[in-house]
Structure 1
Amino acid sequence: MNKEVKLEIVLNDDAEKIRNIMVEISENETLRWFKNGNKPFIPGYNSIDMQRYHTWDNKYYKIIYHGNIIGVTLISHTGKEHGRIDKLYMLPEYQGLSIGSTVLKLIEDLFPMVKVWTLDTIQESPRNHHFYEKNGYKLVSEDQEERYYCKILDGNIYDSDSYWHCKDLSYNNFRECNIKFADLHESNISNSRFSDSNLVGNIYLNSYLANNRFTNVNMNNSIFADSKMNKVEICHVSLLEAYIHDINLDVEEKANIVMERCDLANSKIVDSNLQDLKIENCNIDGMTINGVKVLDMLKCYKKNCE
């Protein structure tokens, strides 16, 4: 089976084909596991741009079976011993053929340094539960929507002087300490304070960052993706050359974004849903909509209303 199944890095040219595959998978999952109009939560599954975005660090793989793309897997990797399988989807006609088990083995071979693998899967799919448990994943927790799994590979990952395991370091102060390239997994650092510190290149993976505050922090070239940032406040921040894309507002909760006193000169909004967008008390000199100046539109409107 290993010779018949391969993992190859997704390329930009694959994006449309993978989008079509994901649409088919989502429709099948909806019919098989969901009722009352619910659907599986697969952010951006029907977006070509999202498929391209996932390629940013070359850890988005297409599953090849006998030369055909039959699914995808997305890996998040902190650079140390922890890896997370964010996505693993295959077309329904290729499920149940042991291909998925081969894919899991190929993933482990791609990242031999990873000793702890984690993932989550929906409660509605007992097939997924059986599949992961059959392949060595242990259920570690669950809630109404998700089941959370972990697999620790053979070998004592803590048998090293460089490991701190189950240590209580709370209320300690660290001054002028070098902890670069450290890896914190399943660690509680709530209510910690970082000041005058170098945070360049940090990776926060599957972490709970509620009530965090970043002040006077250099976060150039940072990426915040695949995250929940509801009710965040972003203020006094330089967003020079920022690229904000594929943002989802939970319309069921009537969520909205409020922007006040923001300098958005020379910015561009493309392919976005601006339904019921309100612009009030703003400088709109030079602002255009589809190439037409807004000031000219307003002049025509006022003229017709006279």
Structure 2
Amino acid sequence: MECERLEIVEAWKIIEAKHACLDYSKIEASGAEHMHWEDVSLVGTKIMNANMSHFEVDGAQMGGAYIHNIGIPKEGDLHYNPDIAKLPVRFEHCDFHGAQFTKCDLSNVELMDCEVKGMKINGILVEDLLKLISE
């Protein structure tokens, strides 16, 4: 099967693709709201300078993923929306074993029913900190 190049400029299109190869596609300065991706390979995909409010990822394998410079926009930022800024980011049923969080704002983060064995904060085991508090 030969790959066809399709260029869409200044147009409103709804694309329905099934069993299609969209590898190496590039979308810039465009709307892509309410898209639904199911059973797709996004290996090597980059999303940059995007407003991802209400974005959801479910059932994804993210080994080797690199997520950086992410946060809730502050007042004055390009994508700031006061209604969205109040909403928390949620992670549920995720396996982050061996993950590293570096220079992240974890203010008011709440861990509920999470396994913390071996988890360290600035090199100190959380288990040891919890023992100190309970003594």
Could you state the TM-score of these two structures normalised by the residue count of structure 2?
0.86
1:238 matched residue in structure 2: 61
Q: Which has the higher strand share?
A: 1
1:283 matched residue in structure 2: 115
User: What are the superposed Cα offsets for residues 226-255 of structure 1, whole Å, 9 maximum, x if unpaired?
Assistant: 111110111001111111111120354313
Q: Secondary structure at the match of 2:134?
A: helix
**Deviation, structure 1 residue 277:** 0.7
Within a 5 Å distance, the mapping from 1:23-62 to structure 2 comes to none
**Deviation, structure 1 residue 187:** 2.2
1:186 matched residue in structure 2: 10
Q: 1:211 aligns with which of 23, 34, 39?
A: 34
Return closer, same or farther for 1:177/1:195 CA change in 2, 3 Å cut-off.
Answer: farther
Q: 1:260 aligns with which of 92, 105, 109?
A: 92
Within a 5 Å distance, the mapping from 1:59-138 to structure 2 comes to none
Relative contact order (alpha carbons < 8 A, sep ≥ 6): 1 or 2 greater? 1
2:71 matched residue in structure 1: 248
User: What are the superposed Cα offsets for residues 56-78 of structure 1, whole Å, 9 maximum, x if unpaired?
Assistant: xxxxxxxxxxxxxxxxxxxxxxx
Is the Cα contact below 8 Å between 1:199 and 1:219 reproduced in 2? no
**Deviation, structure 1 residue 177:** 7.6
Residue 267 of structure 1 aligns with an amino acid whose one-letter code is A
Please tell me whether Structure 1 or Structure 2 has the larger radius of gyration of its CA atoms. Answer: 1
Q: Secondary structure at the match of 2:111?
A: coil
Residue 12 of structure 2 aligns with an amino acid whose one-letter code is N
Q: 1:227 aligns with which of 46, 50, 63?
A: 50
Is the Cα contact below 8 Å between 1:288 and 1:294 reproduced in 2? yes
Runs of at least 5 residues in structure 1 that lack an aligned partner in the other structure: 1-175
How far apart, in 2, do the equivalents of 1:254 and 1:300 lie?
A: 34
Give identity over the alignment, percent.
Answer: 21
How far apart, in 2, do the equivalents of 1:267 and 1:201 lie?
A: 28
**Deviation, structure 1 residue 182:** 2.4
2:77 matched residue in structure 1: none
How far apart, in 1, do the equivalents of 2:125 and 2:33 lie?
A: 41
Residue 69 of structure 2 aligns with an amino acid whose one-letter code is D
Q: Which has the higher helix share?
A: 1
User: What are the superposed Cα offsets for residues 170-211 of structure 1, whole Å, 9 maximum, x if unpaired?
Assistant: xxxxxx7842x3221112222x32111112211110111111
User: What are the superposed Cα offsets for residues 261-294 of structure 1, whole Å, 9 maximum, x if unpaired?
Assistant: 0011110000111110111101111110000011
